[in-house]
Structures are given as C-alpha cells and as structure tokens.
C-alpha cells in the first residue's frame, strides 16, 4: 500500500513530467513513463521517486487518442510473452536499477498523449498524462494548450466503467511489468540457492558463425547449429529496433536494443535433471 506522502510524491513526479513535456513543445509522440522509487539519499526521510520515459516508435505513435488503450494492451501482451524484445528491454532496465539500488520498487505506469478537451462548446487541444499505481489508483493531469498549469485528478477508487479508456490499458501494462519483475526475482533466488551458473559470461558472444562462407550460426552453449529464431520489434526507446536472437535447443539468447546495445543471456547447459514427482 502506498502512503499519502507516496501518492503526493508520485503526483509531483507526474507534474514534473508534464512540465518537461511542455518545454519540448506540442506535437511530441506518445510517451510511456515507468515510475519507480528507491532508498532515500543520506539524511532524507522519503524514498526518491523517479521516472523513465519511453517515447514510442513512430510506427506506434497513434494520433487518435481512442487508439491508445489498444496500444497499451498490445505492449502489455508483449511484456507477458515468452522472451519478447519488449520484455527483454524492461528486464534489462529493472536489472540496472536494482544493481544501483537493490530496494527499487515499481510504482506506476503512465502515458503522456495529445487529446481534445471540450471547453465552452468547442474543442481545445490538450495534453494528458494518465497513470495507474500499484494500488489501482488513477491519476490524470490535463493541460490545455496555452494554459500555464495542468488540472490534476487523483481517484483512489476508480470505476473502470467511467474512467478514461487508457485506465484498463495502464492496469494491464502495470500488471505485466510487475509479473515480469517478480519472475526475474524468483529466478535470481533459485540461481543463488542452487549455485548453478551459465557457462558463458554476459560479455561473451552466444553465437558464432560456422560452415562454408559463414552460412550458419552455432550456439556456443549447447553446440546446436542453425537452430535460432530472430524476433524484431520497434524499440521502447522510441527509435531503432529491439531484437532477440534465441537458440531453440537450450534457450540461450543475444538481445539488443538502442539503449544498452547487446547482451548475452546464456542458459544453463546441460539442463538440470528433472526429478520425478511422487
């Protein structure tokens, strides 16, 4: 459960994001924000709240606000998928955050987008930041074009039937992100308890070329030849591609994205024996 100071700080974080968006000007692409907190700095009582921005790829940057819920559900589905590039990017980001601060917590997902607001029987351009936190609380900041400050709404008990359409999409996105990070936490604990490790480090290549004229790829973990799948998606960074090259035999992978470059994800090989259940 988030405390009242947490909710106040999260709202201030969204207001700061709106101010940053205002400095960049109108017409920016749809932007997702991953909001998290971490242990306080020395002599500070409150945990620090921060946000990471992900301007969506131009292919996904829909201009029609009615399309945002479908887009959010699509990205949530990719995070729930099996080793998708979106999931790999989020996992890499969370790993880096935890490496710096092990007590980091995911608090909310938000979406910043353009919309139209009825005012005095006419439509005016508006920028909105919609967010959902881990308690299901809904936040909305609305700034009309030409106004100095946004109007802020915080709903502790939102009704899904009357909240903006982005609410359900953000709920799905947050749930998928939480499941993704919890799964990685459990996997890390299992690895620590069994003291099993991959046979290749994160800086060593997973695949090497082989065969005549380098026509095939060989997995250095399980020695499979040309048994790989390649998945590409527009990057959550807002430019370039996220790619996932994966061995279908052992599951080892090489993952790339514009933010962190390439990373090796070697599997344990041979796999641990499966014990028969009584």
Last residue of a domain, one of 152, 187, 222: 187
> pLDDT by residue for the chain (278 residues), tens digit each?
788 888 999 999 999 999 998 888 877 778 888 898 876 655 555 667 888 887 776 555 444 445 666 677 677 777 666 556 666 666 666 666 666 566 678 889 998 988 888 888 888 989 999 999 989 999 999 999 888 889 999 999 988 888 887 888 888 888 877 776 665 544 443 433 333 334 444 557 788 877 666 667 888 888 888 888 888 877 766 667 788 888 988 888 888 877 667 788 888 887 776 655 55
Rounded Cα gap, residues 264 and 268, in angstroms: 13
Last residue of a domain, one of 136, 161, 187: 187
DSSP bridge partners of 45: none
* 88 in the same domain as 20: yes
Q: What is the dihedral of CA 178, 179, 182, 188, to 10 degrees?
A: -130
* 148 in the same domain as 23: yes
The per-residue pLDDT for 53 is 82
Rounded Cα gap, residues 90 and 34, in angstroms: 10
* 161 in the same domain as 42: yes
* 255 in the same domain as 231: yes
User: Which residue reads 């799964």 in tokens?
Assistant: 183
Q: What pTM, to 2 d.p., does this model score?
A: 0.61
Task: Indicate the burial class of 141 (C-beta count within 10 angstroms; 0-12, 13-18, 19 or more).
Answer: buried
271 belongs to a structural domain:
no
* 179 in the same domain as 100: yes
Domain containing 84 equals: 4-187
Last residue of a domain, one of 187, 222, 243: 187
Number of domains comprising the chain: 2
* 246 in the same domain as 112: no
């Amino acid at each position: 459960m988030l405390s009242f100071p947490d909710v106040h700080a999260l709202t201030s974080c969204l207001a700061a994001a709106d101010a940053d968006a205002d400095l960049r000007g109108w017409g920016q692409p749809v932007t997702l924000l991953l909001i998290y907190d971490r242990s306080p700095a020395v002599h500070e009582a409150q945990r620090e709240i921060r946000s990471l921005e992900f301007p969506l790829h131009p292919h996904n940057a829909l201009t029609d606000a009615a399309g945002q819920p479908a887009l959010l559900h699509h990205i949530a589905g990719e995070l729930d998928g099996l080793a998708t590039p979106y999931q790999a990017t989020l996992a890499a980001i969370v790993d880096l955050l935890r490496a710096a601060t092990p007590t980091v917590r995911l608090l909310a997902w938000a979406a910043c987008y353009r919309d139209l607001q009825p005012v005095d029987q006419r439509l005016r351009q508006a920028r909105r930041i919609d967010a959902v936190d881990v308690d299901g609380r809904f936040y909305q900041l609305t700034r009309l074009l030409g106004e100095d400050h946004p109007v802020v709404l915080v709903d502790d008990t939102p009704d899904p039937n009357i909240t903006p359409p982005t609410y359900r999409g953000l709920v799905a996105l947050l749930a998928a992100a939480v499941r993704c990070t919890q799964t990685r936490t459990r996997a890390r604990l299992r690895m620590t308890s069994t003291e099993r490790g991959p046979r290749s480090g994160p800086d060593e290549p997973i695949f090497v070329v082989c065969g005549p004229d380098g026509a095939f790829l060989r997995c250095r973990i399980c020695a499979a030849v040309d048994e790989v799948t390649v998945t590409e998606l527009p990057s959550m960074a807002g430019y370039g591609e996220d790619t996932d090259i994966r061995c279908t035999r052992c599951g080892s992978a090489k993952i790339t994205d514009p933010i962190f470059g390439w990373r090796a994800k070697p599997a344990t090989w041979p796999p641990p024996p499966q014990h028969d259940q009584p």
